[in-house]
Structures are given as structure tokens and as C-alpha cells.
Structure 1
């Protein structure tokens, strides 16, 4: 990996301008959302255009929620991503099934010690485990929705699979998160936005600079 072995992922990109800003600032992974209820959703045609801009400069991740085989087929055909990010209630068996076709990032919501225990079951099933804040019970979308969770819950979380930390990260707290949790990577979406779904180039740059500085100080 680059950048002092810390992976950086900017998720929910939806315009060429902000995608290129993330690439120019050195993001290792860019995330494209394939989930219509999200303000960051891009259709497969747009996702393919954005993926083409990133190809060779960063890994392309398509985020989807409880996809059936037909949607996986469509994503692979249209976008040809490097990873599928599963952000729903996919079982360990389903994650392993999808992974036989393409590398997988499995997102898991964390709010309690029970959630941490449940996440351990996915060790070895995915290429990366993305630990995110659990959405509130009345939420209409999965994911942390900009909220951080109690990082101390991860003090005893030791797995063989590489961990990406997400949920409520932004330019001013990412260094603390990295030093506290020591993940293999960090993932941000709403924390680098000026409005829901609207990425902010300056915030993207600041997030990546601060993340790399924190990783460098830990070498």
C-alpha cells in the first residue's frame, strides 16, 4: 500500500471534478454509490464514466445494498470495479459467494459490543471489513450517516482481515481516529461534503493530508 501503509478511500463521489480532486490529492480508493435512496447515487452509466477517469490511478469501489445476482452482473458488466462494497444485511455466506466473483469490502455497523462480536463472524469472508457507525433504527439508509461510534469498542477487535474505519470521520478527527484505532485504512463520505451528496475539494484534500500525516507519525 502507499502512504505509509494507510489506505484512504473517498466514497460517494458523483462528479468528474470532485473525483479528479480526490485522485489528485492521492486517494487510494474511490467509492461510487449504486443505491437510489442515497443522495450520492449514480446510475451505472455515470458510474462507468467516473470509473474510467479513476482507472489506473485508484481502486474503483462500487457500493451497493443487498444486491441480487442480476445487479451484481450489471455492475460488473457496466463498471468493471476493483471491489464491490456490500453495505446491507448480507450474510457471511452471501459475502463469500459474491467474493468468488470479485473482491469484497463488507461494511458492518457498530454501536455496541454485540455488534463487534457479530462483525468477527465475517473475518476471512471479505477482503476488507469496513467498520461503520450503525444507523439509527428509523434510518431509511444504511451507514453511519455522518456519525462516529465509540472507537473504544474496537480495543479488543483483532481479526486477520484488514479493517477500514468509517463513520463520522472528517478532516479534524481523522488523525485521532487513526492513532486510536490503528486501522489499515480510513473511509469518508459525508465528512468531506458541503451539503448532502456535494463533495468539497478543500475538505477532501485536508482529510487526505491529515490522514497521511497521522499514518506517517506512527511508522
Structure 2
């Protein structure tokens, strides 16, 4: 994968209402994420997702977040939404990532949970088949759905990564700490969901704006 020469990416994930989607677009989000995991508080129905995707089209890249989908399921969803990306947030193997990428014809982002240095060992195999790696905090063992659940991991362990790997950072980010996260990890972009919410699944327009502004300011210093 190439080094971080492409424009810095800011992704707002788990959007579920026209008002908060519009706020993210107006604030300059590069990517908007629609969550199709039914156990997540950010789950959207296919009907609502089509509405939101239509609002975002040609203004930001549309990301369909799925968990352990079969290739044909991912392909049908991506075609229905006219999604730009499919985000794989389950236990997909590199072989499954490659199969979904081939079936959908879309770019694929693979999320990998990180809690300690040992978790970085799986990155090369996934990076070889995915278009982008998303490093997220590993969820608690009893979690009902994937993701960081608002808790960051120890960013300093990423100092051991090959500097040629291009990744997005997620997990416990918010307006107050995103600048530090960018400074420490120097990612290709950042992704936030619960960090811009007032309650699980309820996005806060002010926090969305603040997060994007803080991330942009920090990225300019890279």
C-alpha cells in the first residue's frame, strides 16, 4: 500500500437521520458510514439508508458497514445503495475480504480490532487484499456488536507499524482528543461514531462540526 500522500480523510460513521447527515456533509466529511449491523444502536434500515445515500451522493463517499456478510449479500447491498465502499467490521479473513471485494466491485475497508501489539500481526495479510485498513479499539469480550465502544487503545503501539501502510484510525475518538491521536499516529484519516453522540446512536450536530474542524486543523500540521 502507498504512503500517506493522499488527502486526509474524515469519516463520520453510524449516521441515521437526514439532519445529522446534512451536518456532516456541510462540515466537510469525506466519508459517511451507514451501519447495517442489526444489534448496533446505529443500525439503519435499507429504506432509510437509500434516502441518506441519495443525500450524500457526489458530496461524500458512501460507506456501507457490514458484519460477516457473505459476498453475494455485500454485492446486493452495495449495488442497491450505489455505495463507494464496503466496510467489513466482523471476523472476515483475508480470503473473505478478497472475495467480497471481487463480488462487489467496490473498494473495501477492513476494520481490525487493536488492544495490544500482538493484534498488529494480522495487518499485512489484510492490507494485501483491502483498499484501506481501519484500526479500531477491540471491543469488550461481552460486547453485542463490534467497534471501540467509545474507548481508545494505546496509540503508541502503532509506532511499530511499517510507515508504508496506509490506515484510518478509530476507537474512542472525539473532538477533544482527535488532534492528539493524529499527531501520535499520523494516520491517513480518522473515523468517529460514538464520539460525536449525545446518547448511543444519537448524533450531536455540534460535536460533528467540532470533530471535523479539529481533525482538519491537526492534519494540516502533519
Q: TM-score, normalised by structure 2?
A: 0.94
Please give the per-residue CA displacement for 1:113-150, whole angstroms capped at 9, x wherever unaligned: 11011223212211110000001111111111111000
Alpha carbons of structure 1 residues 161 and 44: separation in structure 2 relative to 1, 3 Å: farther
Q: What does the per-residue CA deviation read over 1:45-84, in whole Å, with 9 as the maximum and x for residues that have no partner?
A: 1111100000000000000000013421331232110000
Partner of 2:73: 71
Q: 2:207 aligns with which of 180, 203, 211?
A: 203
Describe how 1:28-107 pairs up with structure 2 within 5 A. 28-100=30-102, 101-107=105-111
Runs of 4+ in 1 over 3 A off after TM superposition: none
Give, in whole Å, the separation in 2 of the partners of 1:110 and 1:143.
10
Instruction: State the shift of 1:23 in Å.
Output: 0.2
d(CA) in 2 for partners of 1:88 and 1:124?
Answer: 18
Q: Residue 159 of structure 1: CA displacement?
A: 5.9
Gaps of 5+ in 1: none
Taking only aligned residues, the RMSD between alpha carbons, in angstroms, comes to 1.2
Secondary structure at 1:217 match in 2: coil
TM superposition shift of 1:161: 4.4
| 1:153 Cα deviation from its structure 2 partner | 1.1
Which sections of structure 2, spanning at least 5 residues, go unmatched? 1-5
Partner of 2:195: 191
- Please give the per-residue CA displacement for 1:68-101, whole angstroms capped at 9, x wherever unaligned: 1342133123211000000000000111111122
Match for 1:174 among 151, 172, 178?
178
Out of 11, 21, 24, which is 1:22 matched to?
Answer: 24
**Do the aligned residues in 1 keep the contact of 2:149 with 2:172 (CA within 8 Å)?**
yes
Farther off after superposition, 66-75 or 9-18: 66-75
Query: How far, CA to CA, are the matches of 1:176 and 1:212 in structure 2?
Result: 12
Question: How many positions carry a matched residue from both structures?
Answer: 215
